[in-house]
Amino acid sequence: MPKECTHLDQVHDVAPKTPDGCEECLAMGSDWVHLRLCLSCGHVGCCDDSPNKHATKHFRKIHHPIIRSLEPGEDWGWCFIDQVVMEPAPGAP
């Protein structure tokens, strides 16, 4: 049986806090590869292919479990705790 995310109760209707890019990378003048949206608070962080990996750092610091891709044409989510990909992403527009 496929593993399921047990944290969907922590998904909220959020808007990206920094729709133009990774919050921390913008502040420090750094580059990123892909963007991820925290579905608990709206934090925008860069992916693990980016030099700073801010989406994962946000999870480790704040413990918000679910992100979704902010890349155009992508509709998937990821639960850090359950290690589950969700397609379509919860709360996707």
Domain range annotation of the chain? 10-86
Q: pTM here? A: 0.95
For domain 10-86, which CATH number applies: 3.40.50.300, 3.20.20.70, 3.30.40.10, 3.40.50.720? 3.30.40.10
Q: Are 62 and 93 in contact (CB under 8 A)?
A: no
Q: Are 25 and 54 in contact (CB under 8 A)?
A: yes
Q: What are phi and psi of 19, to 5 degrees?
A: -65, -15
Q: What is the pLDDT along the chain (93 residues), one digit of tens a residue?
A: 568 999 999 999 999 999 999 999 999 999 999 999 999 999 999 999 999 999 999 999 999 999 999 999 999 999 999 999 999 999 776
